[in-house]
Structure 1
Amino acid sequence: MGLSRRTQALLASGLLIIGPARGFAQPATAPARPRCAAGEARPVVGQPYSPELAEQARRAAGAREVRKIEPGGAYTTDLDSDRLNVEVDRVGIVTGVRCG
């Protein structure tokens, strides 16, 4: 089976690749890091809010950041799976924790 002159020229110039390319490095994927786990921070529910308590809850949940959610407050609606939201009532008692 002979190759056409055009095919021979393309092969010689390196512009024609026949067959699947092998041996190319695949991009490394970062290992999945743990996300926020609000259940681990539930022990703070029922306690008076403080920055120290919020930090304790953040660490327990494994979240990157923490945000205090107060009644009537204005907050962004973006979801961040690495953020712990600490919800408080009008007198400052933690009523719930959730990720997002």
Structure 2
Amino acid sequence: MRTLNSLTQNLIESLTLLLQQPGEDALQTLEVCAPVLIEQLQEVLVRAVDRRDFEIQLRAVLEVWLTKYPQSSAAETALFGGLRSGGLVSHAQVTVL
């Protein structure tokens, strides 16, 4: 699942570029930019969603729904296949209920 916003992408790209060129210039840049980088990292942390928690919640809701509205094995397989291809569940969690 690709959920990176522009803030996160810019942060990762900037840090990657700085860390690929270790040296005095990179250290000076990090020293100047540290407050902004720390602030952005804190924003990422606040907004971050643990994908495992999301998958567990999704799985629980689907189990309840499938109990109320039973589907054929083929329909369940197609449902989880679609969720997997959309990046909403991992390969390990895809099993027919």
- Please tell me the TM-score bracket, short chain as reference: under 0.3
TM-score, length-scaled by structure 1: 0.26
- Comparing both structures, which one devotes a greater share of its residues to helix? 2
Structure possessing the higher relative contact order (Cα contacts under 8 Å, 6 or more residues apart): 2
Q: Which has the larger radius of gyration?
A: 1
TM-score, length-scaled by structure 2: 0.27
- Comparing both structures, which one devotes a greater share of its residues to strand? 1
